[in-house]
Structure formats: structure tokens, C-alpha cells
């Protein structure tokens, strides 16, 4: 059989040839833009010509500092199919980290959304390799700026031909995208995704969730975050209708309107989004979820009570999945097996509250401190280790940290978990977030999820704080739902018969208006620890 490279160009060409009438929709605050895959392909071809005109060479990095819209989607396929590497930049990074990732990647061109130009303005004088700035503008107007060598995207591409001979002689192992982790310590780490990795991962996403051409995908996950969980690639390859919400992604009223009006079937997001949505629904928010078939939650644990409430009150079929920047990201998905139909509701919720089964195509082992695999009993803890065709094997230009994380061909995730006899994985904690009290381990994740089962609690983050007698004790940082009240005694009483032992119950509970978040929406425990150490962590 002919050795045929797995390249993203096959996804692009397929959608253009066989699904030219299917829609791509961008939602802006004051308008909605619609065009087809036929139109999309022509603009991607023009983009490829434009990259050539700018002198971008194969393998060079091109940055996107952009929201989720059709122009960003053009970059998603246009840049790697041309032969360059798209660097999707997390504009929410601290300024020093933003400078680091742009310089470390050695980006040649920056494509920046007009609404995000400020972030680039702040760091432009510190950038070492960028020679051209391109503004992605839905208004068609150049924002006021002091940046030189800047042009509007539509002006850049408009005069180029609407066809392009995308190279077939790329290697499938050639880089297609690069993304940087939002580091909790040190500088962000770069993860490079090859054409082969993204193609195979896209197949895994489609197979795992049963996605196909008839689906309509709403892209809630930021396109700078782990390839938007590869939804855009899978969507283009399958010829799905795609809806891109831009700035409106945190407007729950508009998000629900998009789902109803566009007949969305598939979407994904982090628990922070689902908590905002739940609060909107509980206040009587207008919605119609009848079209939805797949909703994926990832990035952090989804509280059990929230999953149950979404399912039983709002017919919102949410399921958990697990992955990371280093894993492209899909690793596991919490989908019951076909013979589990006779399980009780509680047993099914137990499965759906896990992070699920390993997806097809990967290998996983969960190992103890001595490197031995833990028993599949749902009790023994160990670190998740992974390998497979879309699992990274190094950090970009970072041999020291690569050696600490990628060992003997396995990616050591730093995530502690159990695995039961059916193969379902349950996260216990990050290794750095486990709390050791009186010689015994406490899982901050378990404790957080239990506290968030309280009907008045919206968010709860647990950190370990020093204790003169017990080494460490858990400190609970809690946010109540708007308009509701809850006390420390309420929390402790609620935990009384729900935790594994009485010493798990936090002695101190601090109430905050909001839990600090990382740039990708996870609880920022590093910041909570800093606030505690500086004496700044105080209740409302």
C-alpha cells in the first residue's frame, strides 16, 4: 500500500469539494456573519498566497492572538496546510509570559483580533522576530494603533487568487500548530502538534462522541486552548456546520439563543462556563436544548450535583472528558458501556462523574511511587502516564523540563487517579495539590466536589496550609451563588457524613466573591497559596 502522509490538507479539500454549501457562522455583538465552506476554501487559498507574499517559509511560526470566529478558523487550516506552523496565543497570559511565548516561538507574523490589539500594543517593543502585524477586523476599520508594519487581514488577502496548490510533499510528522501551557511555575511550556497527531486525534474525537456531517458544533472552548479541543479540525474534516461565538461566549442569554437558533448538536467547555450557564438557567433564563446531543466538560472536575441538575432539570446531556495541552487534548471520556443500561441512576451517575475510559488509540498506565501499576479496584491511587500518536514527547526547545516529564517514552501527567475494574478513571488530584495531614493524604478534588454539592455553593477550591501539629490542613475557599448565603458551620455540617474521615473536614472556611482563575478557567491555587502566605486571603 502506498505510504500516504496524514495531512490536514485532506480535511480542507474534503469540506470544500463535498460540503461547499454547509455554513460557518460568526456571532458578533452587533451582527451575525454567515458563509459557506465553498467561500471558506477560497479565502484560505488567498491566505496561503498572502503568507507566501510575506515571505513566510515552511516550518516558520505564525501567531494568532484571536477570538473564536471565521477568520481564526481560516488560520487554523490555512497556515498548516501552507506548510507553516500556527501558534495559537493565549492573550490572557500575564504580560511577561506573553512576551516569552511570542519570542520563544520566534513568530514571524502576528494575526491579531481588533478587539485584542491592546494586548499586542503592550508588548510590541519587546518582540524580537515579528516583522508583520495583521488585524482581524469584522468592522473593516483599522483601529488606532502605534504599531508599524500593520495591515487589515481582508485587505491583505483580497487581491490574491482563490485557488492554491497546497503542498502534498509535507511530512505527516511536520509541525502544524504550537500551543503553550499556562504555567503554574516558571515560563509556559511549548507543545508542538504534528499533522499526523491532529488528524488521528480528530478521528478519535469523532469516533468517541459519534460526531459527523449532520452535527452543528458551537465552539465555546477558546481556540487558543489546546486546539479548541480539536473541534475546528474535526468539524472541517467532517463538513459540520460550525458556530463561532467570539466575545459573546460568556453571554449566557446569547449562548442559549445560538444553541436554539442554529440547532447546535455538539459543544464543549470548562466547568466555569457551565456554572455560569446553570446560574442563568436557575434565574429563569430562556433556552431550548432540544437539538443538543453531546456536551463535553473538561479542564477540571464537574461537580456531581451540577451534572445531575443539568440532566434532570434541563435535559442538558453533559459528559466529562479528560486531557491536557500535552495530549492534544482528548484522553478519556465518561461514556457508559452498552451493557450498563440496567444500572441504577446512582450507578450511572458514578460513571458519568468519572473522567471515563481511555479513548481508542492511546496507552495508559497508572503507577504508584515505585513505578508499579495500581490495581483496577477504584481505590489505589497513582499517577496517570500516557503514550500514543497524539501524546507529546517533549516540550519545545526545553530539554530540562522535558526530561522531568517525558520518561522512557511515557508522558507523566502529574495527575493522581484511580481506575476501577471496568477501566473508568477518577481523578484524585494534581500531585502538587494533594494535602498531607497527620501522615494521611486528602484529595482536594474530592473535597471540592463534595462542598460544591451544597445547594448554595457555586465554587469551592481547597488548598493545603501549614499546621504546627498536623503538618498541613485543608483550607476551603468558597463562593456562594448570587443572592444566597452559607456559613462555615453550614459547610462543616454538610460535610459531616459525606467525607471519608472527620479529619478531612476543613477547620477554616473563607468566603470570597470569586475564586481566582487561571487563564484557561481553572482554579488558580497558586494564587490562593500566595494570598494566604501574604496574609491577604480573608473572608468577605
pLDDT digits 0-9 by tens, 359-378:
999 999 999 989 999 999 99
- Amino acid 183: pLDDT: 65
DSSP string for 296-313: EE-SSPPPHHHHHHHHHH
Q: In the beta sheet, which residues pair with residue 27?
A: 32
Domain locations in the chain as residue ranges: 32-202+218-235, 434-533
| Helical axes 231-238 vs 195-209, angle rounded to 10° | 80
Dist. CA 512–CA 517, nearest whole Å: 13
| % of the chain with per-residue pLDDT over 70 | 99
Nearest to 335 by CA among 323, 316, 348, 347: 348
Instruction: Tell whether omega for the bond before 31 is within 30 degrees of 0, i.e. cis.
Output: no
Q: Cβ of 305: how many Cβ atoms within 10 Å?
A: 18
Domains 32-202+218-235 and 434-533 share a fold: no
Q: What are 117's three cell numbers?
A: 490589539
d(CA 222, CA 355): 21
Q: Which residues are catalytic, by number? A: 181, 326, 436, 441
Please determine, for residue 438, whether its predicted confidence score (pLDDT) is greater than 80: no
Beta strand 150-152 with 132-136 is: parallel
Share of the chain above pLDDT 90, in %: 82
| Packed helices 9-18 and 37-53: angle between N→C axes, nearest 10 degrees | 140
Q: Please tell me the predicted confidence (pLDDT) of residue 272.
A: 87
Give 475-534 pLDDT, tens digit per residue: 999 999 988 999 999 999 999 888 877 888 998 999 999 999 887 788 888 889 888 888
pLDDT confidence tier of residue 184, bands split at 50, 70 and 90: low
Q: Name the residue with higher pLDDT: 467 or 251.
A: 251
C-alpha to C-alpha distance for 537 and 540, rounded to whole angstroms:
10
CA torsion 329-330-334-335 (nearest 10°) is 150
32-202+218-235 CATH fold: Rossmann fold (3.40.50)
> Could you tell me the fold of the domain covering 434-533?
GMP Synthetase; Chain A, domain 3 (3.30.300)
**Residue 99's pLDDT is what?**
97
Averaged pLDDT, 3-8: 94
Residue 540, pLDDT > 70, answer: no
Four-CA torsion 386, 388, 391, 394, nearest 10 degrees: 90
Q: What is the mean pLDDT of the chain?
A: 94
Q: Which residues contact 536 (CB under 8 A, 6 or more apart)?
A: none
Amino acid at each position: 500500500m502506498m505510504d500516504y502522509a496524514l495531512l490536514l490538507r485532506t480535511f480542507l479539500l474534503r469540506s470544500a469539494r463535498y460540503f461547499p454549501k454547509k455554513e460557518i457562522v460568526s456571532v458578533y455583538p452587533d451582527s451575525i456573519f454567515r458563509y459557506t465552506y465553498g467561500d471558506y476554501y477560497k479565502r484560505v487559498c488567498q491566505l496561503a498566497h498572502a503568507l507566501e507574499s510575506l515571505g513566510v517559509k515552511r516550518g516558520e511560526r505564525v501567531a494568532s492572538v484571536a477570538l473564536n470566529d471565521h477568520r481564526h478558523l481560516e488560520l487554523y487550516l490555512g497556515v498548516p496546510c501552507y506548510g507553516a506552523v500556527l501558534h495559537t496565543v493565549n492573550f490572557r497570559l500575564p504580560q511577561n509570559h506573553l512576551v516569552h511565548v511570542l519570542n520563544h516561538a520566534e513568530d514571524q507574523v502576528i494575526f491579531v483580533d481588533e478587539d485584542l490589539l491592546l494586548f499586542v500594543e503592550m508588548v510590541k517593543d519587546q518582540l524580537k522576530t515579528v516583522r508583520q502585524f495583521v488585524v482581524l477586523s469584522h468592522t473593516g476599520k483599522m483601529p488606532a494603533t502605534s504599531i508599524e508594519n500593520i495591515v487589515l487581514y481582508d485587505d491583505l488577502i483580497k487581491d490574491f487568487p482563490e485557488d492554491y496548490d497546497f503542498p502534498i510533499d509535507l511530512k505527516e510528522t511536520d509541525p502544524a500548530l504550537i500551543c503553550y501551557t499556562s504555567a503554574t511555575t516558571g515560563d509556559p511550556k511549548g507543545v508542538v502538534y504534528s499533522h499526523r497527531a491532529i488528524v488521528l486525534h480528530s478521528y478519535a474525537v469523532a469516533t468517541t462522541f459519534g460526531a459527523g456531517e449532520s452535527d452543528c458544533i458551537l465552539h465555546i472552548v477558546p481556540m487558543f486552548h489546546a486546539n479548541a479541543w480539536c473541534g475546528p479540525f474535526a468539524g472541517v474534516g467532517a463538513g459540520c456546520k460550525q458556530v463561532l461565538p467570539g466575545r459573546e461566549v460568556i453571554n449566557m442569554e446569547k449562548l442559549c439563543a445560538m444553541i436554539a437558533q442554529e440547532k447546535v448538536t455538539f459543544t464543549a467547555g470548562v466547568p466555569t462556563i457551565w456554572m455560569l450557564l446553570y446560574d442563568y438557567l436557575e434565574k429563569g433564563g430562556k433556552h431550548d436544548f432540544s437539538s443538543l446531543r453531546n456536551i463535553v466538560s473538561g479542564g477540571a472536575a464537574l461537580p456531581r450535583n451540577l451534572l445531575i441538575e443539568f440532566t434532570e432539570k434541563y435535559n442538558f446531556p453533559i459528559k466529562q472528558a479528560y486531557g491536557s495541552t500535552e495530549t492534544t487534548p482528548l484522553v478519556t471520556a465518561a461514556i457508559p458501556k452498552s451493557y450498563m443500561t440496567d444500572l441504577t441512576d446512582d450507578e450511572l451517575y458514578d460513571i458519568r462523574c468519572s473522567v471515563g475510559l481511555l479513548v481508542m488509540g492511546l496507552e495508559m498506565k497508572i503507577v504508584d511511587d515505585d513505578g508499579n501499576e495500581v490495581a483496577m479496584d477504584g481505590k489505589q491511587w497513582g499517577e496517570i502516564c500516557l503514550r500514543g500518536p497524539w501524546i507529546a514527547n517533549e516540550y519545545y526547545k526545553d530539554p530540562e523540563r522535558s526530561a522531568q516529564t517525558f520518561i522512557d517514552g511515557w508522558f507523566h501527567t502529574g495527575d493522581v487517579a484511580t481506575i476501577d475494574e471496568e477501566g473508568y478513571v477518577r481523578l484524585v488530584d494534581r500531585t502538587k495539590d494533594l494535602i498531607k495531614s497527620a501522615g494521611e493524604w486528602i484529595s482536594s478534588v474530592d473535597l471540592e466536589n463534595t462542598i460544591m454539592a451544597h445547594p448554595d455553593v457555586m465554587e469551592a477550591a481547597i488548598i493545603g496550609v501549614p499546621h504546627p501539629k498536623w503538618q498541613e490542613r485543608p483550607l476551603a475557599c468558597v463562593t456562594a451563588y448570587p443572592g444566597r448565603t452559607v456559613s462555615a458551620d453550614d459547610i462543616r455540617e454538610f460535610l459531616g457524613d459525606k467525607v471519608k474521615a472527620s479529619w478531612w473536614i476543613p477547620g477554616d472556611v473563607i468566603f470570597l466573591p470569586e475564586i481566582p482563575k487561571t487563564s484557561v478557567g481553572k482554579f488558580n491555587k497558586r494564587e490562593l497559596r500566595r494570598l494566604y502566605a501574604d496574609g491577604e486571603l480573608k473572608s468577605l
